[in-house]
Amino acid sequence: MTDTCVVVPTVREWECVREYVANAREHGHDDRLFFLLVTEEFCDTDAMERMLDDLDVEGAVFDGADRDAWYDEHGIEEYGHVVPAASHAETSFGLLYLWANEFEYGFFIDDDTLPHDTDFFGTHYANLAHEGSVTEVRSDEQWVNVLYQNFEEHGLYPRGYPYAAMDETVETGKTDVERGDVVASQGLWTNVPDLDAVRILMDGDLQGQAQTRTTREDYGEDFVAAEGQYLTVCSMNLAFRREVVPAFYQLPMDDNEWDVGRFDDIWSGVFLKRACDVLGTQIYNGAPLCEHNKAPRPTFDDLNNEVPALELNEHVWEVVDEVGGDADDYAEAFAAMADALAEGEFSQWNNGEFLNFVGEHMRDWLAALDELGAGDRAAPEAEVVADD
C-alpha cells in the first residue's frame, strides 16, 4: 500500500532518486513510496518523468505551471503564494499534496544527498514507531546542538543554531517514549556538514562547503531534545507523520522584499518543536545518516541570503516559546504562533517586519489546508511497521 509521499525539491541532481529507490527496493519498502519531484520550468521535467517510469515507481513531477494548475484544480489558487517559486521552501507544495491525498507519512530528501548502505526508509519508519528509552539532551542555553556528540573534535554548530546559544553546557539522560509519540525523524549527515555561511567562512572555505567534514564516527546514540529545548531541523533527510503538517509549513523565503532566504526549514523546525512540546510529542534525531554532497557555490551568495535574518534567528524562538501552551492539536499551536508573529512589534530588530510577513503566510497556510478539505481528518491510527 502506498502510504508515504517522498518529496524531492530539485533543479540539479534528480538522478539521486535512483539510489533512494534502489535502497527502498533492496529492503522492501518501494511499494509504500510515492516520489514527488518539485522543480521548475527551466528544468528537464520530461527526463524526470522518464526516470520515474524507468524505475517503475509511483510518482509525479510538478514544475511552476503544474503547481499553479494544481492550485486551481483544488480551489486554493488564492493561496498559491504560500509556496515560493525557485526556492527550497517549495517543499511546502509537497506538504499540500500529501495533505490532499491519502498519505500518512512524508519524507523530505534533498537532491544533493545519497543514502548509506543501510535501510534508509526502514530506519526512519522504525524511528517513527519508537517506544521505550532514548537519550534526552538539554543545555543551559535552551538549545541542543545536533552535532554535540563529537563537538570537542570538530567544533561545529549547524545552520540556524543561534550564536547567543554557543558555548553551552550539555546534559544528557534518558527518557521513555510511548509508541506514536515520535512525530518526526531527522536523519543527520556525513561528508559536507550543514553550516551557515558565517561558520563556513570561519572554517576557511569560499565555495560554500566547509573544510571540516563529518563521518559516521561523529554520531553515536540517537536522541531527542528535552521539553523546552530547541534544535535545528534540516529538511535534507527527514520523515514525519501526517498529523504534523499544519505546524510544519516550510516558511516563505527568497521571494520577499527583505531578500531573506535559508531559514525555511530552520524556523519550521522551531515551530514544530514548540508544538511538540505543547502536545507531548517528540522529534527523533540521528540515524539514518545520508551522504551530503553539497555542490560548490560562492559562500558569499549564501551569506547574502542569510544576513537579512541573522538577527531575527536569534529571537524568533523566544517569540513562539511564549504562546500556544493551551493548544489541543498542531493547527491550534501553529495558529497561536502565527498570530504572535503577524501581530507582533519587532522594529527593534533588523528587518523585523519580515516576521509579520511570515506570520501572515502562516495564517494563509492554515487556511489553505482547510480549503483542501482535509483539515478535519483525525490523526492517523495506522501504525508504522518497523523492520527488525
Alpha-carbon gap, residue 138 to 173, rounded angstroms: 9
Name the grid cell of 335: 495558529
Alpha-carbon gap, residue 81 to 364, rounded angstroms: 9
Residue 218 neighbours by CB under 8 Å, 6+ apart:
147, 149, 150, 153, 154, 190
Give 79-124 as a DSSP string: GGGGS-TTSGGGHHHHHHHHHHTT-SEEEEE-TTEEE-SS-HHHHH
Count of CB atoms situated within 10 Å of the CB of 181: 17
Sheet strands (E) in 10-85 = 33-38, 58-62
Handedness of CA 246, 333, 309, 214 (dihedral sign): negative
Of 192-201, 328-337, 368-377, give the lowest mean pLDDT range: 368-377
Alpha-carbon gap, residue 368 to 357, rounded angstroms: 16
Across the range 273-287, mean pLDDT stands at 98
For residue 383, name the pLDDT band (cuts at 50, 70, 90): very low
| Per-residue pLDDT, 144 | 98
Mean pLDDT (the chain, rounded): 95
| Per-residue pLDDT, 102 | 87
Q: What is the pLDDT of residues 109-141, one digit of tens each?
A: 999 999 999 999 999 999 999 999 999 999 999
Across the range 300-323, mean pLDDT stands at 97
For residue 142, name the pLDDT band (cuts at 50, 70, 90): very high
Across the range 350-379, mean pLDDT stands at 86
The answer on pLDDT for 382 being more than 90 is: no
pTM summary value: 0.95
Contact call for residues 207 and 296 (beta carbons, < 8 A): yes
Across the range 48-61, mean pLDDT stands at 98
Instruction: Tell me the one-letter amino acid at 64.
Output: G
Half-sphere exposure for 286 (CA within 13 Å, toward CB): 21
Please state the separation of Cα 164 from the chain's center in Å: 23
Contact call for residues 230 and 317 (beta carbons, < 8 A): yes
Contact call for residues 239 and 297 (beta carbons, < 8 A): no
Alpha-carbon gap, residue 181 to 309, rounded angstroms: 32
Q: What is the pLDDT of residues 319-354, one digit of tens each?
A: 999 999 999 999 999 999 999 999 999 999 999 999
| Per-residue pLDDT, 388 | 41
The answer on pLDDT for 385 being more than 70 is: no
**pLDDT > 70: what percent of the chain?**
96
| Per-residue pLDDT, 15 | 96
| Per-residue pLDDT, 373 | 81
Alpha-carbon gap, residue 79 to 275, rounded angstroms: 23
Where are the domains positioned within the chain? 4-371
Q: What is the pLDDT of residues 227-250, one digit of tens each?
A: 999 999 999 999 999 999 999 999
Helix, coil or strand: residue 242: helix
Handedness of CA 22, 28, 34, 38 (dihedral sign): negative
Across the range 210-224, mean pLDDT stands at 96
| Per-residue pLDDT, 57 | 97
Half-sphere exposure for 93 (CA within 13 Å, toward CB): 32
For residue 255, name the pLDDT band (cuts at 50, 70, 90): confident
Q: Which of 85, 63, 92 is nearest to 369 (CA)?
A: 92
The answer on pLDDT for 207 being more than 50 is: yes
Contact call for residues 43 and 70 (beta carbons, < 8 A): no
For residue 165, name the pLDDT band (cuts at 50, 70, 90): very high
**pLDDT > 90: what percent of the chain?**
94
